[in-house]
Amino acid sequence: MPPKILKFFFLVIIFVVQVSFISALPYPFFYFDFIIISIVLALILSGPESSILISLLFGVLLDIYSFNLFGLHAVSLLAAAVITYFSLIKFFTNRSAYAFVFLALIFTLSYEFIRGAAIFLINFVTKGETLFIGDYLINLGYKFFFNALFILIIFHLINYFSKKLKPFFIIRK
């Protein structure tokens, strides 16, 4: 099989694992988001082009699976990928564990904020309802914790088995 088809099937398997296995885990463990982690890893290891394509693929799959407005997840994931990319090139020049964690947290925060704001506006306009911010912030904290923990584990595994994240010097001209 060509490598692009294998990558596509691998991404679909990640999506299936996220929506069928991880979301069925018990209470705080289902806040781990494998989709966000894989997009952040693609951004750091492969570059913005692959990250944008992966964000679009996961967004369309989540939109098909979700009951929310179609396109909401795709737009939220794409915007979060762009925000995280600009954070990567402006603030995080090295590939350290701290950069991995902060980029995962920036992606999670921007994705959840964009998606949550859109859902809030849709519910407010159509039903006149709002959401309770306290529960939302607690859930966001759990998502931060589990995503940061898993990205640290993946960082150390990549660092142990590969030379891709070894330190390098930035030469200024």
pLDDT band, residue 95 (cuts 50/70/90): confident
Whole-number mean pLDDT of the chain? 87
* pLDDT at 167 exceeding the cut of 70: no
Q: Contact at 8 Å (CB) between 59 and 73?
A: yes
CA distance linking residue 117 with residue 168, whole number of Å: 39
Q: Please report the DSSP string for 18-34 in residue order.
A: IIIIGGGS-GGGGG--H
User: What pLDDT score does 161 carry?
Assistant: 86
pLDDT range class, residue 151, cuts 50, 70, 90:
very high
pTM of the complete model beyond 0.85: yes
What are the domain boundaries of the chain? 38-84+91-161
Q: What is the pLDDT of residue 36?
A: 94
pLDDT of residue 135: 80
In contact, 58 and 17? CB cutoff 8 Å: no
Instruction: Say if residue 132's pLDDT is above 90.
Output: no
Q: What's the rounded Cα separation, in Å, for the pair 75 and 63?
A: 10
- For the segment 35-71, what is each residue's pLDDT rounded down to a tens digit? 999 999 999 888 899 999 999 999 999 999 988 889 9
pLDDT digits (tens, 9 = 90+) for 115-130: 988 888 888 788 766 6
> Hey, which of 60-69, 75-84, 92-101, 118-127 has the most confident mean pLDDT?
75-84
Q: What are the Cα distances from residue 149, in Å, to 76, 89, 100, 153?
A: 23, 23, 11, 6
Token pair recorded at residue 29: 């463990």
pLDDT at 131: 63
Listed in sequence order, the DSSP H helices in the chain are: 3-16, 34-45, 48-65, 72-90, 97-126, 133-161
CB 32, CB 153: distance < 8 Å? no
